Copies of this chain bind each other. A is one copy, B any other.
Amino acid sequence: MTSATQTGAERSRQGRLYLVPAPLDFGCDTQVPLADVMPQGTLETTARLTHWICESAKSARAYLKRVGALAPLALPLQTQQITELPHQIHKKGDHAGALGSGFDVRPLLGAALNGHDIGLLSEAGMPAVADPGSSVVRAAHDLGLEVVALTGPVSLLLALATSGLNGQNFAFVGYLPQDPAERGRRIRELETMALKTGQTQLFIETPYRNAALLQALLQNLQHNTRLSVSSGLTLPRAQTRSELVKAWRLQPVGPDNSTPAVFAIGR
C-alpha cells in the first residue's frame, strides 16, 4: 500500500512518523536549557508520543525525562514502547537493504499501521541527518505513512551559518578516513572540490580525535583556504573560529577532545 493508492480515510487511520530532534549536549558536561533550543510546539508533540524508535533506549528515556519537566508526558516513561534501531543499521549504514544485503525495517513501524504516532529519536540533533534513521523514514514512505520533522537544533546547519563560507552550495561528507595517508588524500580531494566549484565541504569527527583532525587539516590544506571549526554549538561555550589556514597555522588551537565539533572548508 503506497501513498499513491491510499484513500484519505486509510491515511487518517494510520499514525505518523515524527522525526524528533534532541539537544546537542549529549555526552557533554553541561546541559542546555531545553527552552533555548526546542520550540514549545516541538516539546508538546514530543511529550504526546508514546511509541519510539531510537538509537539508545537509555538516552531516549533520559531525554524524555527532561521533556517531561516542561511538558507533561502522555504516559509514564516505563509504560512507553521504546525500540532501538537494529545494530545492523549502526554497523552497515541505513541503506544496505537497498543494495541487497540488508533487512526489513518495516516491522518497526507496525504501531503506526495500528494508528499510533511514532517518534524517531537520535542521541543528539535531528534523526536521519548525520545520524542513522533514514531507512526507517524510507520504510514509512513505502508504507504510505505521513512523515513530519519537528524543528530543533541541527549542528551542521548552525556550523555552516556561522562559518561565513558559501551557504548557497555546500556538501556534508560525514567522517574522514582514520588512516593518516588516506585522510590526507581525502582532505586534499575535498579542498580541490571546494576551491574549484565553490562548494563548501563540511565534515565531522568523534570528539576525542578533534586535535588529530585539526593537525591533519593544517598539514594538508593550502595557505589561503578558509577553515571554520564550530564546537559546543548551543552550549554556553559554543565557539566558531573561521580563518584562513595561514592564520590557523600561526595559532593552531582548536576545540578540546571532549567537545563535539563540525569542520568546514571553502574558498
Contact = CB atoms under 8 A, between A and B. Distances in A.
Interface string A127-161: 11111011101111100000111011110111011
A35 interface: yes
Contacts of A171: 169-172, 199
A33 B45 CA distance: 14
Nearest to A251: B4
A41, A161, A174, A267, most chain B CB atoms within 10 A? A161
A88 interface: no
B126 A157 contact: yes
A162 B147 contact: yes
Given A167-B129, A169-B173, A162 B149 contact: yes
B151 A4 contact: no
Interface residues of A, number: 70
Given A4-B247, A158-B151, A164-B138, A172 B170 contact: yes
A265 to B, nearest CB: 14
A1 interface: no
A166 interface: yes
A163 B128 CA distance: 9
Contacts of A135: 164
Most B CB contacts (10 A, CB to CB) among A19, A95, A233 go to: A95
Contacts of A219: none
Given A130-B167, A157-B157, A162-B137, A3 B151 contact: no
Contacts of A212: none
Interface string A195-236: 000110000000000000000000000000010000001100
12 contacts: A4-B243, A19-B162, A39-B39, A126-B161, A128-B167, A130-B168, A131-B167, A134-B166, A138-B165, A154-B157, A168-B172, A169-B174
Given A95-B267, A169-B173, 14 more contacts: A2-B243, A36-B39, A40-B40, A93-B168, A128-B160, A129-B160, A131-B168, A134-B164, A134-B165, A134-B168, A137-B162, A151-B152, A168-B172, A170-B171
